[in-house]
Chain A
Amino acid sequence: QQQVKQSPQSLIVQKGGISIINCAYENTAFDYFPWYQQFPGKGPALLIAIRPDVSEKKEGRFTISFNKSAKQFSLHIMDSQPGDSATYFCAAIGTGNQFYFGTGTSLTVIP
């Protein structure tokens, strides 16, 4: 079964707007939650990551919000730009060696 559930599947945002992508998980053993950005023809690239001991992490225009009790985390992209148009994957890993990825969100930022 899908270890990490991601929504929405696709997202269209105007330039300058806020893009929000949500993920949920069930396995409480997960202790590292990265987000990856993938452009067509390229492999995923690490964007930002969080551990469950903090509720929020911000790097530039990208922010992760983490709700441990609800087992949910989200990516916020502030002041979205056309260059942010890509597919975004959330992921989680715990005590094992597998990163579990969400199904991806295709983001389109309209100029």
Chain B
Amino acid sequence: DTGVSQDPRHKITKRGQNVTFRCDPISEHNRLYWYRQTLGQGPEFLTYFQNEAQLEKSRLLSDRFSAERPKGSFSTLEIQRTEQGDSAMYLCASSYGTANSPLHFGNGTRLTVT
């Protein structure tokens, strides 16, 4: 069990550019989540996958955001035409089993949009 891995750890980009983050969950975990965390706040739900199917998306996930989990393994989160308000920590978490199984978080990707 190597834990949830996220790449990159930090990303600085100019407004209007596209960025893509990667998450590698714990290998046997079938559920994968993306959360966003801003300074002084708790994680906010963005989207959820069960295996390769994206089953739920938050209204926080605008049309500029897209997430994929091909083959039910790693996942990517893409933000198009970034805005300064997108600056945040993007956290990936995975779990195994039912909806209320414990979440295992990665260390996040910190995005700064200048």
Pairing of A with B? yes
Residues on A lying within 8 angstroms of B by beta carbon are: 6, 31-32, 34, 36, 41-46, 49, 89, 91, 93, 95-104
- Kindly state the separation between the CA atoms of A96 and B93 in the bound complex, as whole angstroms: 16
Chain A residue numbers with a CB within 8 Å of B42 are: 6, 89, 91, 101-104
Chain A residue numbers with a CB within 8 Å of B103 are: 34, 44, 46, 99
Chain B residue numbers with a CB within 8 Å of A101 are: 42-44
From the candidates B40, B45, B102, B107, name the one contacting A98 in the complex (CB within 8 A): B45
Chain A residue numbers with a CB within 8 Å of B4 are: 43
- Kindly state the separation between the CA atoms of A45 and B104 in the bound complex, as whole angstroms: 7
Nearest-CB residue, chain B, relative to A44: B105
A41, A93, A99, A100 pick with most chain B CB within 10 angstroms: A99
Nearest-CB residue, chain B, relative to A49: B102
- Kindly state the separation between the CA atoms of A70 and B43 in the bound complex, as whole angstroms: 25
From the candidates A31, A42, A44, name the one contacting B100 in the complex (CB within 8 A): A31
- Kindly state the separation between the CA atoms of A43 and B105 in the bound complex, as whole angstroms: 5
